[in-house]
Chains A and B, each alone.
Chain A
Amino acid sequence: MKKLLSLALVVLVLSPQAFASRARLLALGMKEIDNEGSYYIKDMRNIFLNSAYVNDYADKVTMEWGNNGQQVGARAFLDADANPKMQGGFLKSGGNFVYGAYFGNESNTAALLRIVGSGAGATLSTPDNQLDLFLGSSFGNIQWGANLVYSKNENETNESKDHGFGSRFGLKSDGWNAFANLSLGNKATVGATQEFKGKFGLHIGGGYDITEEGTIYGYYKTFSWEQRDAIGAATVKGGFDTYSLGYGHTMAAGQGNFFSTIYYKSQKVDVKFANKAEAENVTIPLTFGYEAPATSWLTLRGSLTQNLHGNRNNNNYASLNATAQGLAQANFGADTGGKDATITDSTEVRAGASLTFGKLVVDGMIGTAVAGSLSLDQAMSRVAATYSF
């Protein structure tokens, strides 16, 4: 009886329905610019990857603590581990449907590309006050989901405007899932001479469970834009392409889970100035992670990642504005002058914890304040709270 009760507690604690935050997936090795979810670990965050997952996470309120994010321009902000952006929302079941709204989940990719797209002009505004609306249901044994995305902000004093509009569609069933996320409108301007205009953007992908524990997954992301700055009159084109193919494995181990994944990922960004600025990273990271209950109210998790292969080939960062150069360096590594260079020191260890109080789960990353230390004055970072009702 006692064992059954403990197992029941474990199920309650480690049930994927219980977990719903960037902090959890980051601690388990997620490495995406937008932290939009995991391709093989179940988490509520995945609704931003495949909106069909709203069906699995109904009747929850979730909040991610933070501030305004890392400021990189007068009206430009990025979400960063040390300075996360506040966001939150809810999902609710109603009859055969699940619906919800989410605030503040602005895309780092959209922000980064606007900064790159600022050229030699003033830094363009980044998306802000974003609203996500969700709807999902099922037909037969297939679940579907849809998500509308909208953001807008303007400053009439300098005639600057930014707006973004997109939609996400997803399907899933036992053993597979597929999604198509579209960027339908993306534009930032200052006056009549500085402009970042997004063309069509697409993120498609999916996963297939080849065994009970193993999932193969893949995705392709592409986005292109045109930019003009106040100094040069010419329109410059830019493009962003990422594709990945991988395998993820989730193995029950004792009272917890052991995760592992290996994937091939190619990321390429270029802006066609006279001296084309470009960054290309090709990596094959291997990640191991664990998640296990330490007590009935405390779950600990962590991950170790290292590249089996990691190469960067970046060129002409000097064509970008100073802010964009810094961000390019932070995200893609230093300029290599068009030559290949191994990505060094790719070994990364992360840790996180969840405090569970019945229907309330508080997640966070730990050990981020002082490298290598468990610092109690900053016990958790990127804290999120999720309440199931």
Chain B
Amino acid sequence: MKKHVIIATGAALLSTSAFATKARMTALGQDSERGSQYIQDGRNKFRNAAHVNNMNNYAVMEWGANADAEGGFFRSTGSLAYGLYMGSDHRQAAYEEYDTATGWDDVTGYNPGNELDLFIGGDAGVQWGARLNYMSGEDETSSEKRSAFGLGLGMIMGDINAYANIDISDKLEDSTPNANTESKAKLGFDLGAAYTMNNMTFHADYASNKLEATANGTTGLVEGTVSSIEVGAAQTHEISSTAMVFFAGQYSNNKVEYTDTLGGSNDNAKRTSNALTATIGFEADATSWLTWRGSVAQNIIIGSTKTEGSPVGFVPVASNGKKVTDINSTTVAAGASLTFGKLVVDGTIGSNVGSLRLDEAFTNVAVSYWF
């Protein structure tokens, strides 16, 4: 009897419902904001809101400084599931503010935080989910104001899942004498789908976000586009009820381009990155209370960035249209979960140059409580 209970506990530990944090996603080489296309985790509902039906009845808190702290709860009731999440930073594209001094750069500009995400989902033969995202803030001392609103829709039908996340509005105003600018994101979207067959998952994702900035009393404007394509496949092996290994490959293409005709300028620039990335990872229960996980990823054959035009503040530095291999693409990540009944503490480990430090044993800590 005891043996069966232990196995059942193990199943619950590695069961997808037990994990829901950015630390886990990071340790497994996945997108920590939007979750994974092939490993089930609570974070996946930020990519496909329909996952609120599969991952609920828990509260989660991600530790961090005020700008990084976030958390929420998810519950099911009858055939519906719902949730509230605060402080998430999953907004699809970092918001750029045009500044006459620095030009186009990756600074987010005035960001009041306090993001709010509301989830709702149900199962009507097909699992569906919706997510409303809202952020708003104003600072009269710096004459800045920002408001943003987005919508996420998702569905899961058997082995197929699909989603559409839309940034409906994202507007930043800066009315200080030096700037007096208005920057806004035009309709931005992130569309994707995944299909699972046996233990293989094939997935694709396309995202695009257009941004525009103007300055009062100045002719012209800055227009930019941030877009990405990801296509991949992954194979997961459940070694036992308490362990799994996965092998994944993904091709990604990311593009950032802008044109600047503000105040008589005539600048344009484009940055394009391509990568074919292979990822290998594992997750296993070391003991009944300790789960380890880790991943290694690297670009294979394809992995380079090129920048064209006359960008200001672009990262990496301009390459005049020439290709530069992305060096040091090998990435190893590790993490662990401490499970105390219904309480799970996740974190990443070993982030200090290959060392296991006990003075900073866990980073990116998150706590989830399952009820």
Contacts and interface: CB of A to CB of B under 8 A. Distances in A.
Interface string B283-305: 01111001010111111110110
B329 interface: yes
A103 B353 CA distance: 17
B330 interface: yes
A377 interface: yes
Contact of A129 (B294, B325, B352, B359): B325
Nearest to A100: B280
Nearest to A131: B300
Contacts of B358: 376-379
A348 B286 CA distance: 34
A66 interface: yes
B296 A381 contact: no
A386 to B, nearest CB: 10
Nearest to A75: B327
Contacts of A125: 327
Interface stretch (B57-65, B78-86, B107-115, B237-245): B237-245
Interface in B329-371: 329-332, 334, 350, 352-360
A364 B356 contact: yes
Given A88-B296, A357-B287, A157 B320 contact: yes
A86 B332 contact: yes
Contact of A360 (B286, B329, B331): B286
Nearest to B279: A103
Interface in A68-98: 68-69, 75, 77, 82-90
B52 to A, nearest CB: 31
A360 B325 contact: no
Contacts of B90: none
Contacts of A64: 332, 354
B353 A67 contact: yes
Given A75-B327, A389-B237, A87 B296 contact: yes
Contacts of B245: 61, 90, 387, 389
B321 to A, nearest CB: 9
A156 B322 contact: yes
B330 A86 contact: yes
A364 B355 CA distance: 8
Nearest to A356: B286
Interface residues of A, number: 50
Contacts, number: 157
A377 to B, nearest CB: 4
Contacts of B306: 156
Contacts of B280: 61, 88-90, 101
A125 B328 CA distance: 12
Contacts of A103: 278, 296-298, 330
Interface stretch (A147-155, A269-277, A308-316): A147-155
A383 interface: yes
Nearest to B287: A357
A360 B284 contact: yes
Contacts of B329: 128-129
Nearest to A103: B298
Interface in B211-258: 237, 239, 243, 245, 247
Contact of A128 (B237, B278, B295, B328): B328
Contacts of A156: 306, 319, 322-324
B98 interface: no
B353 A383 contact: no
Interface string A100-141: 010110000000000000000000010011010000000000
Contact of A155 (B284, B296, B325): B325
Contacts of B243: 359, 387, 389
A63 interface: yes
B282 A379 contact: no
How extensive is the interface on chain B, given as a class? 35 or more
Contact of A84 (B237, B324, B325, B353): B353
A380 interface: yes
B167 to A, nearest CB: 34
A357 B331 contact: no
A358 interface: yes
B357 A101 contact: no
A84 B354 CA distance: 6
A389 B319 contact: no
A65 interface: yes
Given A129-B299, A357-B286, A381 B332 contact: no
B351 to A, nearest CB: 8
B332 A63 contact: yes
A381 to B, nearest CB: 5
Contacts of B287: 357
A385 B294 contact: yes
Which among B247, B285, B324, B328 has the highest number of chain A CB atoms within 10 Å?
B328
A189 to B, nearest CB: 14
Contacts of B324: 154-157
Contacts of B326: 129
Given A85-B330, A104-B298, A61 B282 contact: yes
B330 A157 contact: no
A185 B229 CA distance: 34
Contacts of A86: 296, 330-332, 354
B206 to A, nearest CB: 26
A63 B354 contact: no
A377 B359 contact: yes
A360 B356 contact: no
A63 B303 contact: no
B110 to A, nearest CB: 34
B239 A129 contact: no
A168 interface: no
A106 to B, nearest CB: 9
Contacts of A77: 327-328
A378 B299 contact: no
Contacts of B282: 61, 387, 389
A217 B142 CA distance: 73
29 contacts: A84-B353, A84-B354, A86-B354, A89-B280, A103-B296, A103-B297, A104-B332, A129-B300, A129-B303, A129-B326, A131-B298, A152-B325, A156-B306, A156-B319, A156-B323, A357-B287, A358-B284, A359-B284, A360-B292, A362-B356, A364-B355, A376-B359, A378-B359, A383-B354, A385-B294, A387-B282, A387-B292, A389-B243, A389-B245
Interface of A: 61, 63-69, 75, 77, 82-90, 101, 103-104, 125, 128-129, 131, 152-157, 357-360, 362, 364, 369, 376-383, 385, 387, 389
Given A154-B324, A357-B292, 11 more contacts: A63-B332, A64-B332, A66-B332, A66-B353, A86-B330, A86-B331, A87-B332, A157-B320, A360-B284, A385-B292, A389-B237
